[in-house]
Copies of this chain bind each other. A is one copy, B any other.
């Protein structure tokens, strides 16, 4: 590792803090810090305030644990949505990704992470018990597991499946297959193999039902 020499301890300290952020290296951190340094005091203050305010006043929806300004989030409080279909996701970014498709009219359950022993995250660190409580109330007809297709995602899927399989609830998962727009020859073998095994009726594939 190259240790850069900075002309100021204060500068170095700020760079250290910024380079802890994910995906921000020391060069980018320097650029960001120098940018803020050029700005007015007001702007720097409002930058810092936005984070401290968020940290202090953030709420999580009491039903789905999504980030929210209110006790019950916008999605959970919409009466037009089907509250008996729950889509289980890792975090708020996945909620946003699915919302952007405009294809889902149920509600969510945000786990806050996935089971990852390497990072010290076990089932008790996640909102799994609260998911089971939601199912126990008996008003849920379907649980859609929409986690990443990684080993951690699969582990979490399986853990939740085991906990829920004795309840009267349909458990489904996102369909896996060749991405739309992908060329077959560049698709990896596992995905391609699975998409042959789970082949769809052609008519339903074009109508999207």
> Interface on A for B, CB 8 Å cutoff?
4-11, 13-14, 16-18, 20-24, 28, 30-37, 41, 44-48, 50-55, 57-59, 61, 66-69, 73-75, 91-93, 95-96, 99-100
B44 touches A51 (CB 8 A): yes
Contact partner of A74 among B7, B14, B24, CB < 8 A?
B7
The complex is assembled from copies of this chain, and their number is: 2
Residues of chain B within 8 A of A14, CB atoms compared: 50-51, 53-54
**CB proximity of A75 to chain B, nearest CB, Å:** 7
A51 touches B67 (CB 8 A): no
B36 touches A44 (CB 8 A): no
Contact partner of A13 among B16, B45, B53, CB < 8 A?
B53
Q: Which residue of B lies closest to A27 (CB)?
A: B93
**CB proximity of A151 to chain B, nearest CB, Å:** 21
Decide: A11 near B48, CB < 8 A? Known: A22-B32, A31-B23: no
A55 touches B37 (CB 8 A): yes
Q: Which residue of B lies closest to A57 (CB)?
A: B10
B11 touches A22 (CB 8 A): no
Residues of chain B within 8 A of A46, CB atoms compared: 17
Contact partner of A36 among B4, B55, B100, CB < 8 A?
B55
A96 touches B34 (CB 8 A): no
Decide: A54 near B92, CB < 8 A? Known: A46-B17, A48-B48: no
B36 touches A31 (CB 8 A): no
Residues of chain B within 8 A of A24, CB atoms compared: 32
Residues of chain B within 8 A of A47, CB atoms compared: 17-18, 20, 51
A69 CA / B11 CA spacing, docked (Å): 9
A35 CA / B33 CA spacing, docked (Å): 18
